[in-house]
Amino acid sequence: MGRTLSEKVWDAHVVRHADGEPDLLYIDLHLVHEVTSPQAFDGLRLAGRQVRRPDLTIATEDHNVPTLDVDKPIADLVSRTQVDTLRKNAKEFGVRIHTLGDPDQGVVHVIGPQLGLTQPGMTVVCGDSHTSTHGAFGAIAFGIGTSEVEHVLATQTLMQARPKTMAVTVDGVLPDGVSAKDLVLALIAQVGTGGGQGYIVEYRGEAIRALSMEARMTICNMSIEWGAKAGMIAPDETTFNYLQDKPHAPQGVDWEAAVEYWKSLATDEDATFDREVVLRAEDIAPFVTWGTNPGQGVPLSANVPSPDDFDNENDKVAAERALEYMGLTAGTPLREVKVDTVFLGSCTNGRIEDLRAAAGVLAGRKVAEGTRMLVVPGSGRVRLQAESEGLDKIFKDAGAEWRGAGCSMCLGMNPDTLAPGERSASTSNRNFEGRQGKGGRTHLVSPLVAAATAVTGTLAAPADLQPIDVAVPENV
Amino acid sequence: MDAFTQHIGTAAPLRRSNVDTDQIIPAEYLKRVTRTGFEDGLFAAWRNDPAFVLNQPEYGGVSVLVAGPDFGTGSSREHAVWALLDYGFRVVVCSRFGDIFRGNSGKAGLLAALVTQDVVEQLWATVEKDPGTKVTVDLEAKTISAGELSAPFEIDDYTRYRLLNGLDDVGITLSHEADIAAYEATRPAFKPATLPAKA
């Protein structure tokens, strides 16, 4: 019988298999950042161990770093200590690191792809749950805890039980103004935050094939938000074209050999999945979350739901709590919800295409009075690229703040946070209580909805805006 | 890691679903570079609320947490497990755990006992009626008992074996070093390396 994409990649990485034990899986790329690694390096030191493969390991600083005054020492002493600890550990153990100010510093999941280190058929891990992003290339990529970070540093392997397989097929064509973010938010609202638990998911179908690499990364990034072990998309010409000119892409005969191998990874016609979910792209509209987990979302055109709309008792109680925390009243049209802060950035939507999409809406327009907008590129290189296209000028002319690269307000470990009770429209991935700052209220949205919301000051899509006559730069 | 065979203690009912790891320990508490001292961050936002279960004197000194479905979803932060351990918890009982959280628990010595939602409801009822009820979690027998209730729990065999014996994963894996080296010798030349760096 044929095998699925994930089964082929898994099988190719089994170092040791024994019945009744998890497989020992080889790891091709280990991404490291400052928050989940200090205790792992300490563990190595205590046991007198080395990093087995520094040449398959790369570090950057992203969670803690400020997005202003990046040329000055980090003002928060505890953050500075954590960043300095990573720098010292990288030096001591011979690990390549990209520090503040370097074009390849930034959100760890933006760095791997932009360097061409993330490639099809690989296993990629990081002490961060959004490692699922790299699955967009047809890699098995998942987040791990600090004990496992230490395990990978010491052995370049992980013990892993083989997950089940699931296919999410999206047929048809996404309507205009509907993006990958809307698609994945709609999917999570349908399947629930635990729906993917125990599965490696393969996203497939016409609507997925039509997506750019960056849009595919947005989809795979959010796999963890519905509990999946990993999310993957089979590599194709879009993947190969994206990779071809990246610094670490294979060259010459290696490129030929690699592409031939990558083409063999697609799920066989006679392979079967343990579970299948089918969505119609035409049914999907701009989507927004109203609650405190990513499954609590509805189309932007809908009203805030009522706890009575839910059959399941747990969902009912969760909805009551969420409405109270979010300060929302059931029945309110979402388009009437006023937003204080718009955050454009993160490993979900902080890449160049996301910035272009938002800039296209903001060109010739202004951020509404009383609303602030933060634009945080995913990496130093994304920032430079945006500046070379004049996107920074569009954002600044509109009244948005143009910042340095990092995780920033996605999780508020640096000074970029919401104040208690403040409400955001955010292109990030989690609307958990307090995620963007204690007492902060988050609505997850796409870059297009984020930009339109910045203009109106209430949740909005670009189609809601008055047309303007303005020359929009190329690319946008 | 200490071996875990059986645990007896009192339990706190956490009647909430989807308790993500940001709720277990918010990001602002993750800046420490040490392995201990995370108890202050545990459920930090909720502990300001006098009505929160862990603020009730009758649930002082608890070591078993009985949580609603989808406990430990979200971020991979192992600090969530460390915070629970540092506070004094040894066991979390739930009908569905976030995958990464469950894995981290097994590595750090916190027992994540998977039961049906029905068992969760019965445990909630039991410990709410009498918070002093001793809950016995037996990893050898894979059972959890409290008052009249005795029910099986699930845990994967390998994690159970490691917890029972207090084994260190890295040590086990390094005993297979020859297998790792043999695998490395077969890796294709086109696989990327981070070193030397290319601009």
The closest of A246, A31, A264, A239 to A153, measured between CA atoms, is A31
Residue pair A415/A136 in contact (Cβ under 8 Å)? The answer is no
Which residue is closest to A59 within chain B, CA to CA?
Answer: B194
Q: What integer is the mean pLDDT of A409-433?
A: 97
The answer to whether A350 and A110 are in contact (CB under 8 A) is: yes
Q: Tell me the residues of chain B between 93 and 122 that have a Cβ less than 8 Å away from chain A.
A: 96, 98-100, 103-104, 107-108
Three-state DSSP at B30 gives coil
Residue of A nearest to B195 (CA): A55
Q: Which residue among A16, A42, A257 places its CB closest to the CB of B188?
A: A257
| pTM metric for this prediction | 0.96
Report yes or no: A277 at the B interface, CB cutoff 8 Å.
no
This complex has an ipTM of 0.94
Annotated binding residues of A for [4Fe-4S] cluster, as ranges? 347, 407, 410
Whether A257 sits inside 8 A of B20 (CB atoms) is: no
Q: What is the mean pLDDT of residues A244-251?
A: 97
Q: What 3-state DSSP class applies to B77?
A: coil
Name the residue with tokens 């009626």: B129
Question: A26 - beta bridge partners?
Answer: A157
Does CATH place domain B6-183 in 3.20.19.10?
yes
pLDDT band at A200 (very low <50, low <70, confident <90, very high): very high
Alpha-carbon span A90 to A19, nearest angstrom: 37
**Judgement on whether residues A24 and A114 belong to the same structural domain of the protein:** yes
Asked if A85 is an interface residue toward chain B (Cβ–Cβ < 8 A), one would say yes
Judge whether B20 is closer than 8 Å to chain A, CB to CB.
yes
Single out the residue in A243, A275, A307 at which a domain terminates.
A275
The DSSP 8-state label assigned to residue B150 in this structure reads: E
Contact A434 B31 (CB under 8 A): no
Q: Which residue from B107, B156, B172 is facing A147, i.e. has the nearest CB?
A: B107
Using H for helix, E for strand and C for coil, what is the string for chain A? CCCCHHHHHHHCCEEECCCCCCEEEECCEEEECCCCCHHHHHHHHHHCCCCCCHHHEEEECCCCCCCCCCCCCCCCHHHHHHHHHHHHHHHHHCCEEECCCCCCCECHHHHHHHCCCCCCCCEEEECCHHHHHHHHHCCEEEECCHHHHHHHHHHCEEEECCCEEEEEEEECCCCCCCCHHHHHHHHHHHHCCCCCECEEEEEECHHHHCCCHHHHHHHHHHHHHHCECEEECCCCHHHHHHHHCCCCCCCHHHHHHHHHHHHCCCCCCCCCCCEEEEEEHHHCCCEEECCCCCCCEEECCCECCCHHHCCCHHHHHHHHHHHHHHCCCCCCEHHHCECCEEEECHHHHCCHHHHHHHHHHHCCCCCCCCCEEEECCCEHHHHHHHHHCCHHHHHHHHCCEECCCCCHHHCCCCCCCCCCCCEEEECCCCCCCCCCCCCCEEEECCHHHHHHHHHHCECCCHHHCCCCCCCCCCCC
Compute the Cα dihedral for A35, A36, A39, A41 and give only its sign.
negative
Please say if the pLDDT value at position A64 is more than 80. Answer: yes
Q: Do B31 and A35 touch (CB under 8 A)?
A: yes
A235 Cβ under 8 Å from any chain B Cβ: no
Instruction: Tally Cβ neighbours within 10 Å of residue B125.
Output: 12
Phi/psi of residue A169, each to 5°?
A: -105, 125
Q: What is the pLDDT of residue A469?
A: 75
Task: Report the pLDDT value the prediction gives residue A314, as an integer from 0 to 100.
Answer: 85
Q: At what angle do helices A447-456 and A352-362 cross, to 10 degrees?
A: 30
| Chain B CB within 8 Å of residue A29 CB | yes
The answer to whether residue A280 is domain-embedded is: no
Q: B100–A35: do the CB atoms touch at under 8 Å?
A: no
Closest C-alpha to A138, from A40, A35, A84, A208: A208
Suggest the residue from B18, B30, B52 to mutate for an interface test with chain A (most A CBs closer than 10 A). Answer: B18
Q: State whether A270 and A312 are in the same domain.
A: no
Instruction: Please tell me the predicted confidence (pLDDT) of residue A1.
Output: 86
On whether residue A288 sits in a domain, the answer given is no
Torsion angles phi and psi, residue B183, rounded to 5:
-65, -45
Spatial CA neighbour of B78 closest among B110, B99, B101: B101
* Measured distance CA(A102)–CA(A110) in Å, rounded: 14
Nearest-neighbour CA in chain B from A205: distance (Å) = 27
> Which chain B residues touch A434 with a CB distance below 8 Å?
22-23, 26, 45
CA dihedral (A191, A197, A199, A203) in degrees, to 10, reads: 30
Sequence letter at residue A158 = L
Mean pLDDT of A195-208: 97
Which residue is closest to A49 within chain B, CA to CA? Answer: B170
- Tell if the CB–CB gap between A145 and B104 is shorter than 8 Å: yes
Nearest chain A residue to B108, by CA: A147
Domain that holds residue A360: 299-464
A26·B183 Cβ contact <8 A: yes
Domain count, chain A: 2
Going from N- to C-terminal start, the domains of chain B cover: 6-183
Mutation site, A88, A147, A244, interface B, largest B CB count within 10 A: A147
* Residues A91 and A134 placed together within one structural domain of the fold: yes
Cβ-contact A111, A80 below 8 angstroms: no
pLDDT digits (tens, 9 = 90+) for A383-404: 999 999 999 999 999 999 999 9
Name which of A20, A255, A438 is nearest B157 (Cβ-Cβ).
A20
In this prediction, residue B4 carries a pLDDT of 94
Does A54 contact B194 at a Cβ distance shorter than 8 Å? Answer: yes
Please name the member of A20, A29, A143 whose beta carbon is closest to the beta carbon of B76. Answer: A143
Angle at A394 between CA A392 and CA A398, to 5 degrees: 115
Q: Looking at chain A from residue 108 to 127, which residues have their Cβ under 8 Å from any Cβ of chain B?
A: 115-117, 119, 122, 127
Q: B20-39 pLDDT, tens per residue?
A: 999 999 999 999 999 999 99
Note the pLDDT of residue B168.
85
Contact pairs from chain A to chain B, CB under 8 Å? 209
Residue B199: the pLDDT is 74
Using a CB-CB cut-off of 8 Å, the residues of chain B touching A193 are 18, 70, 73
Do A117 and A232 fall into the same domain? Answer: yes
* A447 preceded by a cis bond (ω within 30 of 0): no
Q: Yes or no: say if A213 and A249 are a contact pair by the CB < 8 Å rule.
A: no
Name the stretches of chain B with pLDDT < 50.
none
Using a CB-CB cut-off of 8 Å, the residues of chain B touching A348 are none
Q: What percent of chain A has pLDDT over 90?
A: 97
Residue B51 touches chain A, beta carbons under 8 Å = no
Measure the N-to-C terminal CA separation of chain A; round to a whole number of Å. 46
Residue of A247, A292, A433 lying closest to B199 (CB–CB): A247
Residue A282 lies in a domain: no
Residue A425, CA distances (Å) to A153, A341, A453 in order: 37, 6, 7
Strands, sheet with B11-14, edge to edge from the N-terminal-most edge strand: B11-14, B64-67, B91-94, B111-114
Whether A374 is in a domain gets the answer yes
The answer as to whether A101 is a domain residue is: yes
Residues with Cβ within 8 Å of residue A442, at least 6 apart in sequence: A289, A418, A423, A424, A426, A428, A430, A431, A432, A435, A436
- In a domain? residue A471: no
Interface test with A, best of B99, B104, B187 (most A CBs within 10 A): B99
Q: Is B92 helix (H, G, I), strand (E, B) or coil?
A: strand
Look up residue B10 and give its amino acid.
Answer: T
Give the integer Cα–Cα distance in Å for A302 and A298: 6
Q: Is the pLDDT of residue A411 over 70?
A: yes
Residue with tokens 């309507």: A175
State how far residue A127 is from chain B, nearest Cα, in angstroms: 7
Same domain, A237 and A328: no
CB B77 within 8 A of CB A200: no
Of the candidates A460, A236, A440, A448, the residue with the CA atom closest to the CA atom of residue A363: A448
Find, in chain A, the residue whose alpha carbon is nearest to that of B182: A15
Contact assignment for B99 to A145 by CB distance below 8 Å: no
Is A125 a member of any domain?
A: yes
Indicate the residue of A16, A81, A248 with minimum beta-carbon distance to B198.
Answer: A248
Dihedral angle of Cα A461, A463, A466, A471, to the nearest 10 degrees: 100
Same domain, A133 and A182: yes
Whether A323 and A271 share a structural domain: no
Looking up residue A21, the CATH number of its domain turns out to be 3.30.499.10
CA distances from B148 to A168, A202, B119, B135 (A): 44, 45, 12, 11
Residue-level pLDDT at A472: 64
Contact A280, A172 (CB under 8 A): yes
